[in-house]
Amino acid sequence: MLISELAFEWLISLALVMTCAAPVLLVGLFIKDFISKTIW
């Protein structure tokens, strides 16, 4: 049973969107920690 083209496209696109969101989240968390002086 082969994966359908639609499922394949969704799988790769969703993974890419999630990966792209990660640096935004990490930088946001860093700024928050930096402002509240809780980095270390």
**Residue 39 sits in the site that holds another protein (CB under 8 A):** yes
Q: Kindly state the smallest distance separating residue 32's Cβ from another protein, in Å.
A: 7
Nearest to 16 by CA among 27, 8, 4: 8
**Residue 18 sits in the site that holds another protein (CB under 8 A):** yes
Q: Kindly state the smallest distance separating residue 5's Cβ from another protein, in Å.
A: 5
The amino acid present at 27, given as its one-letter code, is V
Q: Kindly state the smallest distance separating residue 20's Cβ from another protein, in Å.
A: 5
DSSP H or E segment with residue 27: helix 5-35
Structure tokens at 20: 């792209």
